[in-house]
Amino acid sequence: MKYLTITITALSLLIMAENSQAQDLDPRAYARFPVNLTLLVAGFSYSDGGVLIDPTLPIKDLHATVESTTIAVGHTFSLLHQTAQATIVMPFGWAQADAMINGQSQNATRSGFSDLRLRISMLLFGAPALTLAEFAKAQRRTTIGASLTIIAPTGEYFPDKLINLGTSRWSFKPELAISQPFGNRWLIDLYAGIWFFTTNDSFYPGTSVRSQDPMGSFQAHLSYNIKPTMWVALDMTFYTGGMSTVDEVDMHDRQSNSRIGATMVFPLGRLNSVKMALSTGAIIRYGADFTTLSVGWQRTFLGKQGKIVPKSN
């Protein structure tokens, strides 16, 4: 029974939302913005690769392809005289997976909504709330920020299936960040957060209980302004922890992985921009080893820009 449970858990690593949480590479996630802006983002990502598991399991050549479209809406506002932002993301995905299990080829496909994501961030230091006109005159400064990301179990989930687009549990990530500019062109971002997970009480075959330890997540980004609204970045993330149990059986699946990538953002007119990113596994000891290509379009809507008297830090 324990051997079968470990095999099932290894297969469940193909879940898109399960593996994407700690793998996020998001440069300038704590960038300064004027308040009263609304951001509409549409994106597409393509991920392809293998899944590294215990070599003693009767599973070989575990491979998956995941495609995802997202619609996101964000809004910037003043909170305690500081710049804050709230963003909600709705993804829809397609996943195809195949493997050799006990010498026989097995495959599965899924399509549907993935789990809804909500992020609330606030720049605690170095970014007083400013209007668009005030922001244009502001100098670049060191900023310190914090955020809370919440993933709600709204995605498609079948308790009797091994592979799902949803996770049937809540996830929470508090995070702290510092952004340090150098001159007018260079910027270093450092983030440190930790994922917390609630229990999935309907894990395969629908009656099992799966729990997971917290998972640390760290990011570092070095970006360069080609123009004020056009920039490129080198990205890196490292995530560790997250060992799980199924019906109190230890799965020995602790993560200790890193990814690297690159990002480019360029404007399309005054209020539109395009973001392109490529990332891949650098050191993957257990779990998904995907190469991901993504592209996104962002439209900015200017809200009421009344005068703000910010509180000095």
pLDDT digits (tens, 9 = 90+) for 112-126: 999 999 999 999 999
Please name the residues in contact with 166: beta carbons below 8 A apart, sequence gap of 6 or more.
17, 112, 113, 114, 115, 153, 154, 155, 156, 157
Nearest C-alpha neighbor of 17 from the set 74, 86, 87, 89: 89
Please name the residues in contact with 200: beta carbons below 8 A apart, sequence gap of 6 or more.
167, 168, 169, 209, 210, 211
Please name the residues in contact with 29: beta carbons below 8 A apart, sequence gap of 6 or more.
121, 147, 177, 189, 191
What is the predicted pLDDT for the residue at 186? 97
How many of the other CB atoms lie within 10 Å of CB of 57?
Answer: 15
Q: Left if phi > 0, otherwise alpha if psi is -120 to 50, otherwise beta: which for 251?
A: alpha
- At 54, the pLDDT band (50, 70, 90 cuts) reads low
Nearest C-alpha neighbor of 48 from the set 13, 92, 95: 95
Nearest C-alpha neighbor of 163 from the set 108, 93, 242, 243: 108
- Which has more confidence, 86 or 242? 86
Taking residues 173-195, what's their average pLDDT? Answer: 96
Q: Where are the beta strands (DSSP E) in 141-271?
A: 143-152, 171-182, 186-197, 200-203, 208-212, 215-227, 230-241, 244-246, 249-250, 255-267
Domain range list for the chain: 2-299
Q: Domain 2-299 in CATH: superfamily?
A: Autotransporter beta-domain (2.40.128.130)
Taking residues 190-212, what's their average pLDDT? Answer: 93
Can you count the helices (H) and strands (E) in the chain?
A: 3, 17
- Convert the pLDDT of each residue in 131-183 to its tens digit: 988 888 888 899 999 999 999 999 999 998 877 888 899 999 999 999 999 98
